[in-house]
Amino acid sequence: MRLFENADYALIPNRRIGYIISGTLLVVSIISLLTKGLALGIDFRGGMEFVVGGTTDVSTVNVRSALIETLEEEPEVKRFGETGHLIRVSAPEADITMMENRVTSALNDQFTGQEISIESTNVVGPRFAEDLKRGAIYAVLGALLVIFLYIMVRFEWRYSLGAVAALVHDVTITLGIFSLLAGIAPFSVQIDQSLIAAFLTIVGYSLNDTVVVFDRVREYVNLFKTEAFDVVVNRSINATLSRTVVTSVTTLIVVTILFFFGGEVLRGFSFALIIGVIIGTYSSVFVASPTIVELNRRLEKSAA
């Protein structure tokens, strides 16, 4: 089977279409991030999470209203797989055991006949959350810096800028989608540690794609010295298009499986990866490559 063999699409000449798509997505994402913001998970703001079992037959709304009084705040309640519900409270300084007992006794009183049990807990103190947040920020910045430097050493600064532009594009849009889905999605889309791991994986994946295209550009620039730079780039993208698509397909297969079969714990994580793989593939063709073409054009202009 062969896909995109001898592909010869006018991708770079039509890069404006890409600009329009990316621009729209970016604007929507940034607006959503600025107005609606991101829902931070308890990893980064502190709080408690309890997964209760035995509430499968009870609706989310009923669980929430059963808990409001005893917890002295409105908890976030989400369905948690087959097990029951995920209950999230901010309670920064409260005693864990006390909160746990309040949840079980309130639910037991309200829904008699159900076997209510706490299946898992996750508690993050405010100070620990502060540390995790700092760690996450360092991790993201560190990753971007190392990548920028590595590409600069291996390629040229233009390529570096192109790669990082694509990465910023990918992460911004993925974050934007998470911001838009907050409160709507049937699974947890809060930003927690595992999502930071997902974002960094997206960064790695998107880079993977970009590097493969750039590697071909590097090769073809020496091979077709007489041709214009944008023609060379377009040719490189087409030459690697088959590989780009095949790798995206295999990766999409596995992350989709993870989304459906990986369990409730990994749902947000795998969702981020699905979005990331799609956008990462798109951006290596429509963001990273056009960036180096535009940069080259500016350089040539200023040289002339």
Partner 1 sequence: MQGNGFKIGLTIFFVGLCGFYLFPSVQNLYVSYKMNNMPEEERVEYQEDNRQWLQRVDQNSLNLGLDLQGGMHVTLEVEIASLLNQLAVNKDQAFRQALRTAGQRAEEEDVSVVNAFVEEFESANPDGRLSRYFRDEGENITRRSSNDEVQEYLQGQADSAVQNGIQVVRNRVNQYGVTEPSIQRQGDERIVVELPGVSNRERVRDLLESASQLTFHLMGNPQQLSQSVQRMIEYYEPTAEDSARIAEANAADTAAAGMSGDTTEATEGTQLAASSQQSAEDEEGTALTEPGAGEQTGPQNSLLAAMQPMPAQEQPIIGRAFASDTSQVNDLLSEPEVRNMLPPGVTPMWTSSPVLTTEDGREAYHLLAVQTEPELAGEVVTDASVQFDRQTNEPKVSITMNSRGARQWDRITAANVGNQVSIVLDGIVYSNATIQSRISGGRTEITGLESRQEASDIVTVLQSGRLQTDLNIISERTVGPSLGEESTRAGFISVVSGFLLVVLFMIMYYRTAGVVANIALLLNLILILGILAGFGATLTLPGIAGIVLTIGMAVDANVLIYDRVREEQATGKTLRAAINAGYEQSLSAILDANITTFFVGVILYSFGVGPIKGFAVTLMAGILASLFTAIIVTRIVFDYLVEERRMKVSYG
Per DSSP (E only), the strands in the chain are 47-53, 76-80, 84-89, 117-124
Closest C-alpha to 120, from 50, 183, 56:
50
Question: Which residue in the set 19, 108, 110, 125 belongs to the binding site for partner 1 (CB under 8 A)?
Answer: 125
Piece of the chain touching partner 1 by CB under 8 A; list 16-24, 26-34, 248-256, 296-304: 248-256
d(CA 44, CA 178): 16
> What is the phi/psi pair of residue 88, to 5°?
-125, 125
Site string for partner 1, 21-50 (x = CB under 8 A): ------------------------------
Query: Which tokens belong to 152?
Result: 């600069």
Q: Which residues of 180-215 are buried (b: 16+ CB within 10 A; e: fewer)?
A: bbbeeeebbbbbbbbbbebbbbbbebbbebbbebbe
Count of residues in contact with partner 1, rule CB under 8 A: 79
Q: Is 255 in the site for partner 1 (CB under 8 A)?
A: yes
Of 180 and 212, the one with the shorter C-beta distance to partner 1 is 212
Nearest distance, CB of residue 27 and partner 1, angstroms: 28
Nearest distance, CB of residue 301 and partner 1, angstroms: 29
User: Among residue numbers 271 through 300, which ones bind partner 1 (CB under 8 A)?
Assistant: 273
2: left (phi over 0), alpha (psi -120 to 50) or beta: beta
Question: Which residue in the set 35, 97, 112, 222 belongs to the binding site for partner 1 (CB under 8 A)?
Answer: 97
User: Among residue numbers 183 through 242, which ones bind partner 1 (CB under 8 A)?
Assistant: 193-194, 196-197, 200-201, 203-205, 207-208, 211-212, 215-216, 219, 239-240, 242
Helix (H, G, I), strand (E, B) or coil at 135: helix
Nearest distance, CB of residue 304 and partner 1, angstroms: 32
d(CA 158, CA 10): 22
Nearest distance, CB of residue 246 and partner 1, angstroms: 5
Nearest distance, CB of residue 212 and partner 1, angstroms: 5
